[in-house]
């Protein structure tokens, strides 16, 4: 009788996988496992998720002891699994790898950074929103009190710019979100190499909602997104999702031609008046200005050609050296099969 109810509970509650990308996170990892483990335990206890639910850590080519720690936790807790990349492929690829490995065995996938900046207490709310019929649940920061003024301002300007460029983003949501199995499968159909997941998820559609949480300080260690990397990521977001910059160049070209027609008329008039030598300053200015505009325009076009270049090569987005997640499920399956045979 007891077995029957337990079986029923296992069958009816969804299997969740929490995917955590890790790059040199040895300082935070023990705390992350502790906090996420507790959240998982509570949810399993309430019957909100199945006991097969797992934490999946993706080691993105860390140079510190991150992988050794993940292995240690895998041995200590049966609900911890790991993926080891052959080298550093970046945050977005780590998330994608985690999702593509987890999707086979999971009904829902939650992605969260390793540094505990995103409040883990939003996870039960996300699961509740999933139970209420949402396929996509965005974690949205309701306060950026811990971010620097610079980061807050630039983020705001960036969301504004993206909106004007016609890119649909959920403001103040990063890569902390829940996706159902079918939403993940749909997302994995997007085969692009230039990954900007927070722009891709809204494209997938499905019923979605938001869960608000306060953004905290990094628990320990340093940001793995220094300014240069962040700018690169921001630019990637624009050029992967919008060709508005190319239209802008067109506008710039037309404006320059109109200005030059006016200047031509002015030049002719000046020549007739006999003031020809006075043109030195305007000549210098226009040479530099036009040269600059041309270089910028070329580089913008080059940016898109570069994107096409990386896409057509169809290189794999990541390579996995070791993976314990699927094995754990298959071993679990074998155990249950054996039990049935016994």
The interface region with ligand UDP, picked from 107-115, 152-160, 238-246, 283-291 by CB under 6 A, is 107-115
Pairing mode of beta strands 80-85, 320-323:
antiparallel
Identify the sign of the CA torsion 152, 113, 24, 185: negative
Name the DSSP class of 220.
S
For residue 119, state whether it binds Mg ion (rule: CB under 5 A): no
CB of 111 to Mg ion, least distance (A): 13
Among 18, 44, 60, 126, the residue binding ligand UDP under the rule CB under 6 A is 60
Are the C-beta atoms of residues 320 and 86 closer than 8 Å to each other?
A: yes
Q: Give CA–CA dist 247/225, Å, rounded.
A: 30
Identify the sign of the CA torsion 178, 179, 181, 185: negative
C-beta of 154 vs 326, nearer to ligand UDP? 154
Among 143, 223, 260, 337, the residue binding ligand UDP under the rule CB under 6 A is 223
Residues 58-97: x where in contact with Mg ion by CB under 5 A, - otherwise, as a string: ----------------------------------------
For residue 21, state whether it binds ligand UDP (rule: CB under 6 A): yes
Phi/psi for 19 (5° steps) reads -95, 125
Are the C-beta atoms of residues 60 and 142 closer than 8 Å to each other?
A: no
Q: Give CA–CA dist 305/220, Å, rounded.
A: 40
CB of 146 to ligand UDP, least distance (A): 10
The interface region with ligand UDP, picked from 83-91, 232-240, 258-266, 290-298 by CB under 6 A, is 83-91
For residue 175, state whether it binds Mg ion (rule: CB under 5 A): no
For residue 196, state whether it binds ligand UDP (rule: CB under 6 A): no
Residue 172 neighbours by CB under 8 Å, 6+ apart: 140, 141, 142, 144, 155, 159
Q: What share of the chain is helix, strand, coil (3-state, %, to 5)?
A: 55, 15, 30
Q: Which does 114 bind (CB under 5 to 8 A by kind): Mg ion, ligand UDP, none?
A: ligand UDP
For residue 117, state whether it binds Mg ion (rule: CB under 5 A): yes
For residue 115, state whether it binds Mg ion (rule: CB under 5 A): yes
C-beta of 19 vs 129, nearer to ligand UDP? 19
Q: Give CA–CA dist 27/209, Å, rounded.
A: 33
Residues that bind Mg ion (CB under 5 A): 113, 115, 117
Question: Which residue ranges make up the site for ligand UDP (CB under 6 A)?
Answer: 21-23, 25, 60, 88, 90-91, 94, 113-115, 117, 223-225
């Amino acid at each position: 009788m007891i077995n029957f109810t337990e079986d029923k509970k296992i069958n009816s509650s969804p299997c969740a996988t929490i995917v955590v990308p890790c790059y040199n996170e040895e300082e935070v990892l023990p705390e992350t496992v502790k906090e996420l483990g507790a959240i998982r335990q509570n949810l399993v206890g309430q019957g909100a998720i199945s006991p097969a639910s797992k934490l999946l850590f993706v080691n993105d080519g860390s140079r510190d002891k991150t992988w050794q720690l993940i292995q240690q936790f895998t041995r200590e807790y049966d609900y911890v699994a790991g993926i080891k990349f052959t080298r550093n492929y970046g945050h977005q690829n780590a998330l994608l790898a985690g999702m593509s490995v987890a999707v086979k065995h999971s009904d829902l996938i939650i992605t969260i950074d390793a540094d505990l900046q995103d409040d883990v207490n939003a996870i039960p709310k996300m699961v509740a929103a999933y139970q209420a019929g949402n396929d996509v649940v965005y974690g949205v920061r309701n306060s950026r009190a811990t971010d620097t003024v610079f980061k807050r301002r630039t983020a705001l300007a960036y969301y504004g710019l993206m909106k004007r460029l016609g890119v649909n983003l959920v403001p103040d949501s990063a890569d902390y979100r829940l996706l159902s199995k079918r939403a993940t499968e749909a997302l994995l159909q997007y085969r692009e190499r230039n990954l900007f997941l927070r722009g891709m998820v809204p494209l997938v559609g499905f019923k979605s909602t938001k869960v608000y949480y306060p953004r905290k300080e990094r628990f320990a260690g340093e940001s793995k997104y220094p300014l240069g990397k962040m700018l690169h990521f921001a630019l990637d977001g624009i050029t992967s999702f919008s060709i508005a910059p190319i239209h802008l160049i067109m506008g710039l070209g037309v404006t320059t031609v109109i200005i030059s027609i006016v200047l031509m008329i002015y030049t002719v008039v000046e020549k007739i008046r006999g003031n020809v030598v006075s043109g030195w300053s305007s000549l210098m200015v226009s040479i530099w200005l036009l040269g600059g505009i041309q270089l910028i325009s070329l580089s913008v076009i080059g940016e898109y050609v570069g994107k096409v270049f990386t896409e057509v090569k169809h290189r794999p987005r990541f390579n996995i050296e070791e993976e314990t997640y699927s094995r754990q499920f298959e071993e679990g399956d074998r155990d249950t099969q054996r039990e049935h045979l016994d």
